[in-house]
Amino acid sequence: MVNTSSSQPVTFTQDTQLVAELIALLEREQSHLVKADVAAIEAILEEKSLLLQRLNLAAKARYQLLQVHGFQSNESGMTAWVEKQAKKEITTAWVNFQKSLAQAKELNRLNGVLISKHFNRNQELLNHLQGNNDANSVYGPDGQAKSKGPSRSGLIV
């Protein structure tokens, strides 16, 4: 039987606020990634880490309250609790919260793609600066890499 007479209600208000902060932070991070503003990106990393810790603590507290109320301490339990409440405003808020979570995940994925592109570009530049540019070399008959570019030792007629 589900216990619904606890003194502290189950809510996801704090989670919703924290996800909104996370979305704003991820959008700011994306803006800095597009501009390749490394200093700003580094400053955001600590802020993002702390925000994710706060979000994790809020979710754990919500899960504990769910368990006190007789529901599973996970998202399935939260969904069951929302359905049990049968209140349109709670259902709408939960659906909007889930949409916000999906938006945050997508922003994080896109930021990861941007980071990967920056990393690959930097790696290519480093390889070029170190003379490891395989795109401009071929192997000669002796098995050694030879440049494809014009040779200064050849005769020009």
Rounded to two decimals, what is the model's pTM?
Answer: 0.72
Asked if the model's pLDDT at residue 157 lies above 50, the reply is no
Q: Which two tokens stand for residue 56?
A: 């994790």
The answer to whether 91 and 82 are in contact (CB under 8 A) is yes
Hunting for tokens 């603590």 — which residue is that?
Answer: 57
Where exactly are the structural domains of the chain?
A: 13-133
Confidence class of residue 146 from pLDDT cuts 50, 70 and 90?
low
Q: For 13-133, give the CATH class.
A: mainly alpha
- In angstroms, the CA 5 to CA 55 distance is 26
pLDDT digit string, tens, across residues 27-59: 999 999 999 898 999 999 999 999 999 999 999
Beta bridge partners of 137: 147
Confidence class of residue 92 from pLDDT cuts 50, 70 and 90?
very high
Kindly report the CA angle at 98 between 93 and 101, in degrees rounded to 5?
A: 125
